[in-house]
Structure 1
């Protein structure tokens, strides 16, 4: 779905079926790379149903580990 409305984004966010174990966001319809966490003021999370989101997450982890290792 391209350019979902604010109402649709809110509906996805509030749908408990999109949150696995209450922690992991999994919504194949949501194309955002980093959607807000379940508690929105806490930051962003990864949409594990979105390949771009998972690749961005892996990239961040690899870069962080490389910085730590080579420091």
Structure 2
């Protein structure tokens, strides 16, 4: 079942194929798309991240903080 607020698969594909939603051709930035991650066209190659999603920014900042703390206190 689909959520009524969720865009259709066709809309999601249009967003992914729109060059205006890609910064330098490699960073996906679309505030209308609420997905944090979505599979690449060839699913075996991994996932893309939506840099416009605030949840993704929080995840990245937490990851960087953990890495910095690990490097600082691992000695």
TM-score, with normalisation over the residues of structure 1?
A: 0.73
Shift of 1:65: 4.1
Q: Which residue of the partner structure matches residue 19 of structure 2?
A: 16
Give the secondary-structure state (helix, strand or coil) at the position aligned to 1:53.
helix
Q: Which residue of the partner structure matches residue 51 of structure 1?
A: 54
Aligned residues: CA RMSD? 2.4
Q: Give the whole-Å Cα distance in 2 for the aligned partners of 1:66 and 1:50.
A: 25
8 Å Cα contact 1:34/1:45 also seen in 2: yes
Structure possessing the higher radius of gyration over alpha carbons: 2
* Candidates 3, 6, 15, aligned match of 2:9: 6
8 Å Cα contact 1:47/1:54 also seen in 2: no
Higher strand share: 2
TM-score, with normalisation over the residues of structure 2?
A: 0.70
Unaligned runs of 5+ in 2: none
Unaligned runs of 5+ in 1: none
